[in-house]
Chains A and B, each alone.
Chain A
């Protein structure tokens, strides 16, 4: 294919204004309804990954701060939150949902600044879904006896929640909304590189008049997280992140009564059958792997394409990839934003380079990457075999591995040949084939003729080493309730 045949649309810059956000020069910890300075006075910076400019300094919570936060959550659980009539509890969640909608643009801009994701995605996906998650769970608060956990289910208590940097506010919503609706109180630690929307969410809790201590937000790193996991005052851990850390958490709580919800890694197969609508499938492949720079645990990172349509699919995919606009995340026309951190960029480079070394063929469209910040071009590898690292390891970046199959049975075997089981995609025009395939895929979310769709009503979570439990929908409540009659 000659890339010059692809017309390059020139767009005038259309940056979203940052005047809507007011980032403070430094932040404290949100404990017991107030922002307080960390006891040891330690702070760390958070930067804009698209420019490497320092955005703010946030508090580093050590053990003493974790103690304070857990105590505040315990006190709020015992004295306030578990005693409140469920319908009133629900009203606080409705309030939070509404305030998130009111301040949606502010959250979207802040998320893009701190995370590097395109404003189009933070504005149209992350923030609306986060608000919807609170609205959905608000309505559950006084209907829990219908949740399938017995007539009289009970909250678990104080929940420690640790979330990743890829969807900072959305993951916060996935964690806090069900926990609060079911009557638990929380101590939440946002990711080290993306703390700002969680801290802005603390302001939302204040505006909503949420009782002090019901939500506590502590910033820090993995050490802070392990203090939280090991704290004897925590009854349950909810974690989204890598499978390695998820296993470490499972070991750490093995001799306690703590339960855990774990939402971990993935290496999703996106299967394209010969009868698929190829143009639509190509859109789905692009959405599957390049949405959010591929920083998605359920990303369709292994394309399994039926051998007789491989050439057509790859040619159309390359043409489509040439049209991906990479650059300033605040620009409304940007498709692919910045990689979230230098560390993540190094990891993407390291695993991708193994693809070259192991004999796969790399292709990226010509594209100019900004000088400052962390960037990686949209990339596909063809000629990938199942034993290659790029077919097995979660890259968590805009890198797609292409494998082929001849028969549906072979597609299933290759798709399931992974310790992960979070998601998968199926593209075909034949209903019975779609259902046959969906039935055999060992994964928690199957997108058929679509990809990367999320909804508060729809349970999300993985088979095998992709984690424990589900988030969202009625199924997501089970992780925050003790069954009771």
Chain B
């Protein structure tokens, strides 16, 4: 009989897979209470490292062409497709769902990447404008990436919710810090392995596992995080996040729909440019 070689689930920061600097882990069990893994319990310092990595990657990623970003998002879908079985196995173990339900979720998650890949070079056409001002000026409005966005992923369906949080945020050129579902974190790290092999520049996506309850106030108070997808937070945590986030007026939004261009535009800023017309 062969003994399995089990995976160590670590964090994903700046393209690397470090353990938490705090040395903390927490136990994750399957739906029947059996031990699954000891993923890292991300600390405040880990979060700061994520922000530094995300900020560093912002100018390159937001400056890449929309076509290029679209191809890379599509590449994530390709890589996930190849690792489907692993995602399915993890979802069955974590969420206690049937293999067919897990397969469906993985398929939907992959298709969600494809859907947002197709948005990268269209969102400006949909949400920008030329404005007919009453004077001799050329005036246009273009959406731009907001900056560094934290994503609190919701629970079940855990993989789909993570992808629905992450894909629209990075589609427009933001860089992201994904805080995995506390209860179902394993697919987050497997997703990181897909991201790490998809030509996504280091730091564009950083993933923390751990306790959302302690991370929420740190995310809220961090002055170099510009926006938060709070879809995965409960009412009390959301209030805590908003109070702390007021200090730099973080853009904080929650969503229900998986496929929605509002998930993209909510983390963009509109810039309006005026120029005189004349000879």
A interface vs B, CB < 8 Å? 132, 148, 243, 246-248, 250-251, 254-255, 262, 264, 419, 421, 434, 438, 443-450, 453, 455, 457-461, 463-465, 467-468, 470, 473-475, 483
Contact = CB atoms under 8 A, between A and B. Distances in A.
Interface stretch (B72-80, B103-111, B171-179, B244-252): B244-252
Contact of A458 (B239, B245, B262, B274): B274
Interface stretch (B129-137, B151-159, B180-188, B205-213): B129-137
B31 interface: no
Given A250-B246, A251-B246, A254-B242, A446 B131 contact: no
Given A254-B243, A458-B131, A474-B129, 18 more contacts: A248-B246, A250-B242, A250-B246, A251-B243, A254-B242, A254-B246, A262-B249, A264-B249, A419-B248, A438-B271, A447-B274, A449-B276, A458-B139, A459-B270, A461-B270, A464-B249, A465-B248, A468-B251
B249 A458 contact: no
A450 B134 contact: no
Contacts of A453: 133, 135, 137, 274
A225 B242 CA distance: 21
B127 interface: yes
B272 interface: yes
24 contacts: A148-B126, A247-B246, A247-B247, A247-B249, A250-B245, A251-B246, A254-B242, A255-B243, A443-B271, A445-B274, A446-B271, A446-B274, A448-B274, A449-B276, A450-B275, A455-B131, A455-B133, A455-B134, A455-B139, A457-B132, A458-B274, A459-B129, A468-B251, A474-B129
A470 B272 CA distance: 10
B269 A473 contact: no
Given A148-B126, A455-B133, A473-B129, A438 B273 contact: yes
B249 A246 contact: yes
Interface of B: 126-127, 129, 131-135, 137, 139, 141, 226, 239, 242-243, 245-249, 251, 262, 269-276
4 residue pairs, one from A and one from B, having the closest CB atoms: A254-B242, A250-B246, A455-B133, A255-B239
A252 to B, nearest CB: 9
A251 B246 CA distance: 6
Contacts of B274: 445-448, 450, 453, 458
Q: Which of B239, B245, B251, B271 has the most CB of A within 10 A?
A: B271
Nearest to B223: A419
Given A446-B272, A450-B275, A455 B135 contact: yes
Contact of B133 (A438, A445, A457): A457
A251 B245 CA distance: 8
Given A148-B126, A254-B239, A475 B141 contact: yes
B266 to A, nearest CB: 10
A460 B139 CA distance: 12
Contact of B262 (A448, A468, A483): A483
Contacts of B141: 458-459, 473, 475
Contacts of A465: 248-249
Nearest to A255: B239
Nearest to A136: B134
B268 to A, nearest CB: 11
B249 A470 contact: no
Contact of B270 (A254, A419, A450, A475): A475
B131 A473 contact: yes
A475 B137 CA distance: 19
B276 A450 contact: yes
Contacts of B276: 449-450
Q: Which of B133, B239, B249 has the most CB of A within 10 A?
A: B249
A472 to B, nearest CB: 8
